[in-house]
Amino acid sequence: MVTAKVWVLKKHFEGFPKTSDFELKKIELPNLKDGELLLESVFLSVDPYMRPYSQRDMKEGDIMIGTQVARIVESNNPAFTVGAFVVAKSGWRTHFISDGKDLQLLPSSWPESLPKSLALGTVGMPGLTAYFGLLEVCKMKLGDTVLVNAAAGAVGSVVGQLAKIGGCKVVGCAGSDYKVAYLKKIGFDEAFNYKTVVSLDEALRKASPDGYDCFFDNVGGEFASIAINHMKKYGRIAVCGAISQYNDSVPQKGPYVQVPMIFKELRMEGFIVTRWNNRWEEGLKALLKWVVEGKVKCHEQVTEGFENMPMAFIGMLKGENLGKAIVKV
Ligand SMILES: NC(=O)C1=CN([C@@H]2O[C@H](COP(=O)(O)OP(=O)(O)OC[C@H]3O[C@@H](n4cnc5c(N)ncnc54)[C@H](OP(=O)(O)O)[C@@H]3O)[C@@H](O)[C@H]2O)C=CC1
Ligand SMILES: CCCCCCCCC/C=C/C=O
């Protein structure tokens, strides 16, 4: 009999999540039936979407949603070998049983030397968000000037590097000088700390006096309201995330987008990365190749210990992560 540890949403978040909103529980797993597998989580992901999705889709007492890289410990399913690693969507659990239907094996070309945790970051859902958001929503093209916020995070750091590969000028902003130095190190043309600039308006103008063709928006709120005025005519805005609004109990009010959208003839499109589920393999293959070639650099903020999942999640929402926030069990 295996005992799994799980993190439960004890109380729906009100404003910023607190550690007391979570509860650590133990559950006994039953014996495996035919076709089933026993898996142990090795790395778990903490992501911003968990904040709005928990509100929308979860009840108090549910196990927190999320993905992990897990190792197969026991298999009654001929399609899966003991010792293989998969990406699963099994929530915040140390161990779990699966029938294999929802498991994704790591790509067969995954090099032994490459950390498997990258399957939750640059070579996983966040990397794919950058890839499809830039190609399909921003319609990025050679010579464009691309703006991205939360630029030193899991999605933003890949957006900037893919835009450089695509022959664009890239401007990024992040919430500390350390993150800004990192952005310059990985090839951003311009980067600034949005928390310390005297005027966001000035900083955006200085970074690109001619404005922006593409804006990959991870943040929303006030930043987006100011950035929209810096778009070039016919600019494209990919509305990827709105992390500055996820913890609001009262919705923020305008400025509103209509006037700049009309006069600059902008295109603004929200998206969810799962729209391209049927092209997942294409995206992962491209991302893995760039990582292996050293064209895309990856950084991870690894928190040790399953007990620290809530702390890692809250820390990521506060901006404590450089690159992808990961928990190592
Ligand atoms: N549409 C989709 O399919 C997907 C959307 N997303 C969205 O992309 C965005 C980035 O996600 P991800 O890369 O995983 O997370 P990150 O790794 O970027 O971590 C979150 C970062 O957001 C920044 N942040 C937090 N609060 C604020 C705030 N009030 N104002 C500005 N920045 C803030 C912090 O960086 P800093 O120090 O710079 O403030 C923090 O490090 C999120 O909005 C997420 O919801 C992610 C995946 C898929
Ligand atoms: C429970 C696992 C869900 C994995 C799919 C994640 C889709 C993320 C979409 C993000 C939206 C905003 O952050």
* DSSP letter string, 265-289: T-EEEE--GGGGGGGHHHHHHHHHH
Give the C-alpha separation, 326 to 87, whole Å.
14
Give the C-alpha separation, 44 to 150, whole Å.
21
In percent, how much of the chain has pLDDT > 70?
100
For the chain, the maximum distance between any two Cα atoms, rounded to a whole number of angstroms, is: 65
Q: What value does the mean pLDDT take over residues 31-55? A: 98
Q: Mind listing the pLDDT tens digit for each residue in 118-128? A: 999 999 999 99
Given this model, what pLDDT does residue 108 score? 85
* Ligand 2 lining (C-beta closer than 6 Å): 48-49, 65-67, 89, 125, 241, 272-274
Partner residues linked to 148 by β-bridges: 172, 216
Q: Reply yes or no on whether the pLDDT at 107 is more than 90.
A: no
Closest ligand 1 atom to the C-alpha of 221?
30
**Mean pLDDT, the chain, integer:** 98
User: Does residue 150 have its Cβ closer than 6 Å to ligand 1?
Assistant: yes
Q: Reply yes or no on whether the pLDDT at 3 is more than 90.
A: yes
Closest ligand 2 atom to the C-alpha of 48?
13
Q: Reply yes or no on whether the pLDDT at 30 is more than 90.
A: yes
Nearest ligand, measured from the Cα of 241: 1
User: Does residue 187 have its Cβ closer than 6 Å to ligand 1?
Assistant: no
Burial 273-283 (b: 16+ CB within 10 A, else e): beebeeebeeb
User: Does residue 191 have its Cβ closer than 6 Å to ligand 1?
Assistant: no
Partner residues linked to 237 by β-bridges: 215, 268
User: Does residue 8 have its Cβ closer than 6 Å to ligand 1?
Assistant: no
Give the C-alpha separation, 170 to 167, whole Å.
9
Work out the pLDDT band at 166, boundaries 50, 70, 90: very high
Out of 47, 275, 280, give the residue to mutate to test ligand 2, the one with the largest number of ligand atoms within 8 Å of its CB: 47
Q: What is the pTM of this model?
A: 0.98
Tokens of 322: 């450089």
Q: Reply yes or no on whether the pLDDT at 254 is more than 90.
A: no
3-class secondary structure, 141: coil
Q: Where are the alpha helices (DSSP H) in the chain?
A: 50-57, 125-132, 154-165, 177-185, 200-207, 221-227, 258-263, 280-293, 309-318
Q: What value does the mean pLDDT take over residues 311-318? A: 98
Q: How far is the CA of 241 from the centre of ligand 1 (A)?
A: 7
Tokens 């500055």 found at: 244
Count Cβ atoms below 10 Å from residue 93 Cβ, excluding itself: 26
